[in-house]
Amino acid sequence: MNAGKPSELRTVPSRWSRIGTGLLGVLVSPSVLVLAGFIALRALVVEARFIPSGSMLPTLQLQDRLLVDKLSYRFRPPERGEIVVFHSPYRFAPIGHNVSDPFWGQCTLVALPGLAQLLRHPKCDAYIKRVVALPGEQVVVDPNGEVWINQELLREPYVDHRCDNVERLCRPLSGQVPPGHVLVLGDNRPNSQDGRFWGFLPTEQVIGRAWLRFWPPETSGPLPPAGGAG
């Protein structure tokens, strides 16, 4: 008999186990966890957006930076006067029926720095407008851009620009807001591609509520209440 020390059996890690261990180490690294947390926060809670056009003047200026609240509408529908960010009407309205779909993942890649212009697609855009009419309401938008709800004029102190001359008439609209929809318009009525052109907005297409302006510093803070009333 062998009176020496008992032999020891050692397991040699396989190539795949070493790869798995290395991959696990990367996935639980602080940088990856921070990135995953950021992506989850942006997808579920809040995200930053900037204003690329003048359709919401004077409330929102070009290049303003906003935080969009993505939680509120999980618990309640949009309210009149709120400014909402939503998916492009080319996704859900008749204007997009003849527009080809983006390739898989394109709308995600567009959000990455440096790829916005390279991979831009009309169905990947996001729009920002103000809610003016709610489900079930009878709404009329006249040629001057004024809004009538159930035959009563909507008070809109946030609108400075109206179509008040013959050469710049706004497109009128008349109809009842369907269930699960709202009517959204830009504050700058003569220069806004909004519900007058593509119809009512399904609330399921709303990304979130424009909540806080964080740039420029001199105008930063929560967006003021609309003050509109039927």
The domain that holds 61 is classified in CATH as: 2.10.109.10
- Note whether residue 8 is domain-resident: no
Contact 177, 200 (CB under 8 A): yes
| Within a domain: 40 | yes
For residue 55, is it within any domain?
yes
Residues 135, 33, single domain; the answer is no
Say whether both 138 and 168 belong to one domain.
yes
Say what the pLDDT of residue 229 is. Answer: 47
Residues 26 and 134 in one domain: no
Nearest to 51 by CA among 151, 102, 126: 126
DSSP summary character for residue 165: S
Kindly state whether residues 36 and 56 are assigned to the same domain. no
Whether 227 is covered by a domain: the verdict is no
Least confident of 13-17, 30-34, 129-133, 216-220: 30-34
Same domain, 79 and 172: yes
Q: For this structure, is 55 an active site residue?
A: yes
Q: What SS3 class is residue 126?
A: strand
Domain count, the chain: 2
Whether residues 27 and 83 fall in one domain: no
Domain of 27 in residue numbering reads as 14-44
Could you give the strand order of the β-sheet that contains 138-141, starting from the edge strand earlier in sequence?
A: 152-153, 147-149, 138-141, 173-176
From CA 208, how far away is CA 68, in angstroms rounded?
6
Sign for the CA dihedral angle at 38, 39, 41, 47 comes to positive
Q: Which of 55, 70, 88, 192 is catalytic?
A: 55
Dihedral sign, Cα of residue 17, residue 19, residue 21, residue 23: negative
Residue 6 forms part of a structural domain? no
Q: Is residue 105 part of a domain?
A: no
Mean of the pLDDT values across residues 178-207?
A: 96
Q: Is residue 168 part of a domain?
A: yes
If asked whether residues 25 and 137 sit together in one domain, one would say no
What single letter denotes the amino acid at residue 80? Answer: R
Contact by Cβ (8 Å): 223, 83: yes
45-97 confidence digits (pLDDT tens): 578 888 889 999 999 999 999 999 999 999 999 999 999 999 999 999 999 89
Q: What was the pLDDT predicted at 227?
A: 58
- Residue 206 or 223, more confident: 206
When pLDDT is averaged across residues 9-18 and rounded to a whole number, the result is 57
Higher model confidence: residue 174 or residue 47? Answer: 174
Q: Are residues 164 and 209 in the same domain?
A: yes
Exactly one of 70, 88, 129, 192 is catalytic; which is it? Answer: 129
pLDDT for res 118: 78
Does 155 map to a domain? yes
Q: What is the mean pLDDT of residues 13-22?
A: 59
Residue 105's pLDDT is: 80
Identify whether residues 71 and 50 lie together within a single domain: yes
Q: For residues 205 and 188, is the Cβ–Cβ distance under 8 A?
A: no
- 82 and 39, same structural domain? no
Q: 181 pairs with which residues across the strands?
A: 202
